[in-house]
Amino acid sequence: MAYEQILFETKESVAWIRLNRPEKLNALTHQLAAEALDAIDVCTKEPEIRCLVVTGEGRGFCAGQDLTEFQRDGLENLSVAEHLRSSYNRLIQALVDLPKPVVAGVNGVAAGAGASLAAACDIRIASETASFVQAFVKIGLVPDSGGTWLLPRIVGFATALELSITGRKVDASEAHRIGLVNGVVPADGFAEEVEARARSLAQLPTRAIGATKRIMAEALGLSLPETLEREAVLQQEMAGSDDFREGVTAFTEKREPRFTGR
């Protein structure tokens, strides 16, 4: 697929999806979501890719749904529900399901579905210029693109509800304090810092990370006995991996492990 609204490249086992509509703060369109979904599919299939970074070009991360798209592209004939089902829901699910670490490099404002997009990533690194707005309520909508599921799991129910019903903007330092982001980095050198963190994630045992993502999300809806059983099954799988053998061998040989993601 030729990409027009994202930039997609892979560098040293790290894939980068850069939302590329900077003049609109990377507001989401049907096309942008389709392109990102295609790129995520490449990340799933390509074993050399061991980490994905999602970030934005220009001063914004993602301003959520492009509010002008409905008129311009004739989307008024497509119901909002169908638009979500065929577009953003698939994008969010693909990020959550990607069996590799996904980093959101939140370079600027993340609003509406853009905030949900960041929430669907495994690790959020914010520039000090980043902010988060649950903008939905400001235009009479409920949070979508997984926001009602993801946000309470990240910041807890009370804070998620408060942010969602007020639409109050959260700056980077508050986002860090409430656990919405994992770290805040100076704007100067932000991309380099995200790249360094993504590179080190790409050197970890990728299969174990993929399985950890899966089981942790599942466990939130399971009982303890069910979870213990899932852990036993998955651990059996991991124990058959090259990375497990390498991890144990490196430990006994008192050296750093060299994981391959297999």
In this chain, which of 103, 113, 121, 185 binds ligand LHQ, going by CB under 6 A? 113
Q: For residues 43 and 161, what is the distance between their CA atoms, to the nearest angstrom?
A: 33
Q: Any idea which residue has 């707005």 for tokens?
A: 133
In this chain, which of 14, 17, 27, 185 binds ligand LHQ, going by CB under 6 A? 27
What is the closest distance, in whole angstroms, from the C-beta atom of residue 215 to ligand LHQ in the complex?
30
Please give the distance of CA 12 from its chain centroid, rounded to a whole number. 19
Asked if 84 touches ligand LHQ (CB under 6 A), the answer is: yes
Asked if 139 touches ligand LHQ (CB under 6 A), the answer is: yes
In this chain, which of 80, 165, 196, 216 binds ligand LHQ, going by CB under 6 A? 80
Yes or no: say if 124 and 76 are a contact pair by the CB < 8 Å rule: no
Asked if 15 touches ligand LHQ (CB under 6 A), the answer is: no
With the CA atoms of 33, 35, 37 and 38 taken in that order, what torsion angle do they form, in degrees rounded to the nearest 10? 170
In this chain, which of 35, 57, 122, 144 binds ligand LHQ, going by CB under 6 A? 144
Distances (CA, A) of 65 to 28, 44, 102: 5, 25, 21
> Residue 259 burial by CB count (10 A; 0-12/13-18/19+): exposed, middle or buried?
buried
Asked if 63 touches ligand LHQ (CB under 6 A), the answer is: yes
Asked if 119 touches ligand LHQ (CB under 6 A), the answer is: no
* Nearer to ligand LHQ (CB atom), residue 140 or residue 221: 140
Q: Which residues bind ligand LHQ (CB under 6 A)?
A: 24-25, 27, 63-68, 80, 83-84, 109, 111-113, 133, 135-136, 139, 141, 144
